[in-house]
Structure 1
Amino acid sequence: MAHTCRGTINLATTHFDTENTCVIVLSSGARTYHLKASSEAERQQWMSALGLAKAKAMRMMSSHSDDSGDDDDDETASLTDKSGLPLAIQTLSAKLDELGACHELLGKHGAALQRSLAELDGLRAPPDGGDKLRAVSERATLFRITSNAMINACRDFLGAAEAHSRRWQRALQYEQEQRVRLEETIEQLAKQHNSLERAFRGSASTRSSGPSFEGNLLTPEGEDSEEDEDTEYFDAMEDAESFITVITEAKDDRKAEGGPGPDPVEWTSADNSSEVPKAPPHIKRRARIPDKPNYSLNLWSIMKTCIGRELSKIPMPVNFNEPLSMLQRLTEDLEYHQLLDRAVHCASAVEQMCLVAAFSVSSYSTTVHRIAKPFNPMLGETFELDRLEDMGLRSLCEQVSHHPPSAAHHVFSKHGWTLWQEITISSKFRGKYLSIMPLGAIHLEFQASGNHYVWRKSTSTVHNIIVGKLWIDQTGDIEIVNHRTKDHCQLKFLPYSYFSKEVARKVTGVVSDGHGKAHYVLSGSWDERMECAKVVQSSPGSPGLEGRQKTVYQTLPAKLLWKKYPLPENAENMYYFSELALTLNEQEEGVAPTDSRLRPDQRLMERGHWDQANVEKQRLEEKQRSSRRRRLEACSRGCGSDEEKEADVYTPLWFEKRLDPLTGEMACIYKGGYWEAKERQDWRMCPDIF
């Protein structure tokens, strides 16, 4: 036992004794235990087992006494235990100790057997012979049991030694090859570094560029002859519960041989415009907002009466909010729109699916530090993002329902894609955590190819609501389907666990065509980056712990699809907003009077006036309730609940309900007219909600 508790005894300092043929007495200091066996043979077996346990306890005590006990040694031991080689050595050492204990017991029982045989030879009277013969028989049985245990321990030790010997040989060979490959890579990087320095000094003018969003998707020209069939397979690396990837490296000597091979695997996109720095926008966007005030608030005093209720129906002060509305948070999904701009030029549908999958994951990267909730939009509230000049797109959101809260979103890009969605937020407060379930399908269509992708968002969970530091996790599966080609991508968001060996916030996935053949394996984390690796070959693997068979994918080295932008300076004092989020609530001329930028309580909170913002928030909520009562009173229907009546009475301004032919659900689709009204500055149809 690592910690003493009632009913334990330290075997290392325990003395074993026998009162009669079937009783065992364990004594350690002032504590004594009396054990009784059913027979003499059983008692001898228990004595052997207790002897082995005592030997093990004494070895553990001696090993602990040799330790220095400082933290550095503990940290070193914990790091060592994580590697396979020390664990194998520890296993072999334990087996060797078992062999030593068995050898000691074997000697004791052999001596006892010899004494019994000597006594048997000295017998004179036949009546005494029966008891002595039984004693000899029992000791012989015990000797046989101990011998068998020693033989089994020897067999296990030999098998483990042979298995680990082969593994060490493979590991040593692999490490030697990796070292040679690493040295060659470092030499090549040093040469490239020197050439870049010379080019930089000789350049007449230099340009500064922002962080690349997808890294190097194109295969370098110098690697064409390296990626062929004659590849080397290394140990498997488990990426998810359903499949295993085996990374395939190219041999360096293939280039010298000049042997023929298949065509190199590369992205077929010919457009590199995203890698060229864009011209500065005509409108200078803001790069910071006022710092967040330090207000203290008792969270439990407000939340204790809200367990099990819908979050949108709980009157919450602005202290729990961030100065953005849910419509603006929905628009933040477009931060990495360059992924879709690049996907337009992909000739292969499965390659395009990889970029679409990376885009779907990138929308969660802004949530890792964003523990505050956005403002619940007012019914009829809108938000526009008119960034044709610098981002090449126009986005419009409208709150089309209040109970349940639902927002419709439509995006048009001049680069050749359109995205639309209607998201209904369903949330429940469970006491320790808050679950946020976005309902509704997301549609993405590329005009040139006609590829139409549909997927749904995963579940977000806010942990440590009452005690501890708040943190957010994304869990569940996302399936992206191309309804034109029937290609699909299955993404799995692994739940975070403190005891898991997996990378935090891990995401894995497989891109398959309409026939079910896997083409790419995706891996990464939803808060940092996503990579893809082309599948060379797939085969069924061995069953896992739960009996499910895993598929083994042999892949080429992974290539970067997407990487998160770094947060702005002082982001921790600005609600951890990204560069795009800092500009969303910036005041602009010509927007609709229902735009979120004009919401007074949200503007007051952004400026740090939280008390005035709470008063203004109550005024707006009361104004919205009054408008709802007037709509219900004007409704002539006499049946149905209030929410059903409101759904029948209220009509969105820029969106309309239609049947989605792909999902079979009713959804709000953009019907047009907003950008024309903005050009005319004709907002007479807009309701007064602020």
Structure 2
Amino acid sequence: MSEPKTPTSTPAGDTYKGWVFKWTNYIKGYQRRWFVLSNGLLSYYRTQAEMGHTCRGTINLATASIAVDDTCNFVISNGGAQTYHLKASCEVERQRWITALELAKAKAVRMQAESDDSGDDFPQNSPSAPPGQCSATQSSEVQSTLRTLGSKVDDLSTCNDLIVKHGSALQRSLSELDNLRLTGEATDKIRQVTERATLFRITSNAMINACRDFMTLAQAHSKRWQKALQAERDQRVRLEETLEQLAKQHNHLERAFKSNASTDSNGSATAKGEGSDEDDDHEFFDAMEEAPEYITVPADPHYHKRSSSNVSGFNTEFPPDDPSLDEQPLSINPESPQSLELEPVRKRRTKIPDKPNYSINLWSIMKNCIGKELSKIPMPVNFNEPISMLQRLSEDLEYYELLDRAAKCQSSLEQLCYVAAFSVSSYSTTVHRTGKPFNPLLGETYELDRRRESGYRSLCEQVRGGYRSLCEQVSHHPPAAAHHVISDRGWTLRQEIAVASKFRGKYLSIMPLGTIHAIFEKTQNHYTWKKVTTTVHNIIVGKLWIDQSGEIDVVNHKTGDRCHLKFAPYSYFSRDVARKVTGVAMDKDGKAHYILSGTWDEKMDFSRVMQSTRGENGTEGRQKTVYQTLKAKELWRKNPLPEGAETMYFFTKLALTLNEPEDGVAPTDSRRRPDQRLMEEGQWDEANAEKQRLEEKQRSVRREREREAASQRTTSESEEAVDEDSITDPAQKSTYHDDYRAQWFERTEDPVTGEFTHIYNGGYWEAKEKGSWESCPEIY
């Protein structure tokens, strides 16, 4: 479910539609519904997809009353049984609806009055009629309609003659019965029937006369109707031409503005400062409905006028929205022999084999596994997706451009917002991904080299903007992977993630353990955060769906800045949008500077805080903080899935390329894993057999390594060794057992967090350049 969107039309338009919360009952409370205002009628549906077949209710605004309850609530009632108690997402949104409803009501009342008074109303053009329809066609349609009406009136006249004829015969028969000598009761019955027959004949005559009057009136005004239709057509053509001219002028002004901004280094800031005054009265901010800790409201207009100045001691300008972040374009000197030697960008694949439709009894596998860790459950590939956990970890770089933009920020607090958005964006790829990644083998690696993905490169210079990523499985029990990314734009990302999971019967909880680090070379800002809990619901019965819940603290260890993000868990009774994420970016003193809002599967926005005050008491007696904010800016938006993604495990464009075969990678790379490759190709039976072989080979290698380590320890060394029960770090205990050492990462104490973690010790990319992989273990 998506968050409420801004209605798709202006209040002055004929059609206005959007999401509004409607009161249903005391159990469900307010529920989100899709409302459509058109032709003086307000209709609503549960979803936009219902518009074509199922309308849940309609109110005619011509006879309806519109009342405002408070800042966000309003009521629409027609005086009868239909009453809608509605709630907008914010006060500005409510005012838009009120304006649209009042205009539509006034128009509906005026049209109804004109229709009742004169009968000379002019029909509106059909929305589906082509704008270039000629007047001759319209005239012929009117004449055809009049002829049809005339024939129907003739039919009614014939029916009237028959009714008069048979009615007279009926009255004669009744008169004859009245002359007979009957009892008093029979006489009363005959008289009653005679009266009803007379009334029936009078009513029929009145109906025929009304139809004849209508026909006469239609013929008298047919020419006037034709002139009105032609006038409407001409006006539509003039409006279309005017809109086309305005669009051309707008496009021309936009190009001129961009041209001036590119040639004048101070032009963009000056233009932005001058243009911001034009929208002072229209800037608004979506209030976060029933936020547990704070409320946001639009800031005073004078704050907007000063938004380009240094209000709080740092730059308030947001980074540009231009996706191209290169400070200077890559130039090629034709006189340089080295620059002429260009290597083209590799074309990545956009499709993988469709997922086969294999059925399996899930309960037969899972019924004996309740309470166990997911890594200890022998799972067939039928529940997997054809990528490993190392590749899934590399998918966190789907929106690496956020870190590119963060590297360009002059303000550490703005940079914090982009890093926070990056921490949220990694969950957008999981919304439909219910498949389980392959558990990596110990020593398995995965590289992702994207330094040559954005253009050509010369032999003497790499194209700016790429990155290199390396993952390695550094522990098997508990499973842990180390990840290191270095970017040409001046940032480094590293993390060690160990996954703890529990199967609870109805749902599966996945708790990532470990800290993520983002370091920016220019400012030396060092950010850390942890991941939230992922829950997979309906494991046994029903359709699988995924939810993210918990809290994230993104901390800048250099400045003390902090961004607190809250992932709201899904609740059936909640009135909030699903998958909602809210956050506050604060400095070291706890002062809020930015408000973040959005959803982890769609987009994130942020807005500058101009003023904060303590508001009314909220739940549990706590006071809510009211933030006055500027207009929201978009931080991040999810990329659309590729065509046919539902048959390709709902992979993103990046995920489709992760398992693509590539020359020159290490022999331990996940691309070379045979069971994973067989599954991607649709050979699931062969993949299951190969998966069992690899897991058994890994167990035998582990047992041999433990035996060798035990034989090398002397009796005295064993007595002086640390007691195993005193080791609290699971990864350190695993190392104590078999003395395994990672190939490309070294386990050490992190100087910032004090945690023991694996940090890249170098050598991989140099080994790739030389093609020297002798030190790599044979794991496949």
Q: TM-score, normalised by structure 1?
A: 0.68
Aligned counterparts, 1:658-677, within 5 A:
658-677=748-767
In the aligned structure 2, how far is the partner of 1:312 from the partner of 1:324? 16
- Aligned partner letter, 2:297: V
Q: Which runs of 5+ in 1 are unaligned?
A: 1-69, 95-163, 181-187, 203-215
Tell whether 2:771 aligns with 1:681: yes
Aligned in 2, Cα 1:644/1:541: closer, same or farther, shift over 3 Å? closer
| Cα offsets for 1:540-598 (capped at 9, x unmatched) | 11111332221111111111110011000000000000000000100111100000000
Aligned counterparts, 1:448-459, within 5 A:
448-459=522-533
Aligned counterparts, 1:470-549, within 5 A:
470-549=544-623
In the aligned structure 1, how far is the partner of 2:446 from the partner of 2:411? 35
How far apart are residue 89 of structure 1 and its match?
A: 6.2
Aligned in 2, Cα 1:580/1:678: closer, same or farther, shift over 3 Å? same
Kept in 2: contact 1:539–1:552 (CA 8 A)? yes
Aligned counterparts, 1:372-391, within 5 A:
372-390=435-453
Aligned in 2, Cα 1:617/1:662: closer, same or farther, shift over 3 Å? same
- Aligned partner letter, 2:430: T
**Secondary structure of residue in 2 paired with 1:274:** coil
Aligned residue among 364, 382, 400 for 1:337: 400
How far apart are residue 194 of structure 1 and its match?
A: 3.0
Kept in 2: contact 1:635–1:645 (CA 8 A)? no
- Aligned partner letter, 1:248: A
Tell whether 2:295 aligns with 1:244: yes
How far apart are residue 452 of structure 1 and its match?
A: 0.4
In the aligned structure 2, how far is the partner of 1:600 from the partner of 1:354? 41
**Secondary structure of residue in 1 paired with 2:440:** coil
**Secondary structure of residue in 1 paired with 2:299:** strand
Aligned in 2, Cα 1:406/1:261: closer, same or farther, shift over 3 Å? closer
Aligned residue among 351, 359, 368 for 1:305: 368
Aligned residue number for residue 537 of structure 2: 463
In the aligned structure 1, how far is the partner of 2:284 from the partner of 2:678? 60
Aligned in 2, Cα 1:551/1:609: closer, same or farther, shift over 3 Å? same
Kept in 2: contact 1:493–1:508 (CA 8 A)? yes
**Secondary structure of residue in 2 paired with 1:633:** helix
Kept in 2: contact 1:586–1:597 (CA 8 A)? yes
Aligned counterparts, 1:521-670, within 5 A:
521-636=595-710, 640=724, 646-648=734-736, 649-670=739-760
Tell whether 2:248 aligns with 1:194: yes
**Secondary structure of residue in 2 paired with 1:468:** coil
- Aligned partner letter, 2:293: S
How far apart are residue 661 of structure 1 and its match?
A: 2.1
Kept in 1: contact 2:325–2:405 (CA 8 A)? no
Kept in 1: contact 2:660–2:671 (CA 8 A)? yes
Q: TM-score, normalised by structure 2?
A: 0.61
How far apart are residue 629 of structure 1 and its match?
A: 0.5
How far apart are residue 531 of structure 1 and its match?
A: 0.2
Aligned residue number for residue 497 of structure 2: 423
- Aligned partner letter, 1:451: N
| Cα offsets for 1:126-174 (capped at 9, x unmatched) | xxxxxxxxxxxxxxxxxxxxxxxxxxxxxxxxxxxxxx9xx99997699
Aligned in 2, Cα 1:553/1:179: closer, same or farther, shift over 3 Å? farther
| Cα offsets for 1:353-375 (capped at 9, x unmatched) | 11111111000000000000100
RMSD: 4.2
In the aligned structure 1, how far is the partner of 2:361 from the partner of 2:662? 36
Aligned residue among 406, 410, 415 for 1:347: 410
Kept in 2: contact 1:219–1:267 (CA 8 A)? no
Aligned in 2, Cα 1:348/1:552: closer, same or farther, shift over 3 Å? same
In the aligned structure 2, how far is the partner of 1:201 from the partner of 1:227? 20
| Cα offsets for 1:77-124 (capped at 9, x unmatched) | 9xx9x9975987699x99xxxxxxxxxxxxxxxxxxxxxxxxxxxxxx
**Secondary structure of residue in 2 paired with 1:224:** helix
In the aligned structure 1, how far is the partner of 2:269 from the partner of 2:447? 32
Kept in 2: contact 1:528–1:564 (CA 8 A)? yes
In the aligned structure 2, how far is the partner of 1:471 from the partner of 1:684? 44
**Secondary structure of residue in 1 paired with 2:621:** coil
Aligned residue number for residue 324 of structure 2: 274
**Secondary structure of residue in 1 paired with 2:620:** coil
How far apart are residue 498 of structure 1 and its match?
A: 2.4
Aligned residue among 358, 361, 369 for 1:295: 358
- Aligned partner letter, 2:776: C
Aligned residue among 433, 455, 472 for 1:398: 472
Aligned residue number for residue 137 of structure 1: none
How far apart are residue 224 of structure 1 and its match?
A: 3.1
Kept in 1: contact 2:283–2:631 (CA 8 A)? no
**Secondary structure of residue in 2 paired with 1:631:** helix
**Secondary structure of residue in 1 paired with 2:649:** coil
- Aligned partner letter, 2:451: L
Aligned in 2, Cα 1:191/1:239: closer, same or farther, shift over 3 Å? farther
In the aligned structure 2, how far is the partner of 1:383 from the partner of 1:168? 50
How far apart are residue 663 of structure 1 and its match?
A: 1.7
Kept in 1: contact 2:308–2:316 (CA 8 A)? no
Matched residue count: 524
Q: Which moved more, 1:632-641 or 1:272-281?
A: 272-281
**Secondary structure of residue in 2 paired with 1:358:** helix
Aligned in 2, Cα 1:243/1:644: closer, same or farther, shift over 3 Å? closer
Aligned residue number for residue 484 of structure 2: 410
- Aligned partner letter, 1:243: Y
In the aligned structure 2, how far is the partner of 1:571 from the partner of 1:544? 44
**Secondary structure of residue in 2 paired with 1:238:** coil
Q: Which runs of 5+ in 2 are unaligned?
A: 1-44, 46-52, 81-86, 104-241, 257-267, 331-342, 454-464
How far apart are residue 227 of structure 1 and its match?
A: 7.5
Kept in 2: contact 1:239–1:523 (CA 8 A)? no
Kept in 2: contact 1:396–1:410 (CA 8 A)? yes
Tell whether 2:420 aligns with 1:357: yes
Kept in 2: contact 1:428–1:436 (CA 8 A)? yes
**Secondary structure of residue in 2 paired with 1:514:** coil
How far apart are residue 237 of structure 1 and its match?
A: 4.3
In the aligned structure 2, how far is the partner of 1:560 from the partner of 1:345? 17
Kept in 2: contact 1:507–1:523 (CA 8 A)? yes
Aligned counterparts, 1:75-224, within 5 A:
75=57, 175-176=98-99, 193-195=247-249, 220=272, 222-224=274-276
Q: Which moved more, 1:379-388 or 1:547-556?
A: 547-556
- Aligned partner letter, 2:374: L
Aligned residue number for residue 388 of structure 2: 325
| Cα offsets for 1:358-395 (capped at 9, x unmatched) | 11100000000000010000000000011111251000
Aligned in 2, Cα 1:591/1:196: closer, same or farther, shift over 3 Å? farther
Kept in 1: contact 2:67–2:74 (CA 8 A)? no
In the aligned structure 1, how far is the partner of 2:547 from the partner of 2:732? 34
**Secondary structure of residue in 2 paired with 1:635:** helix
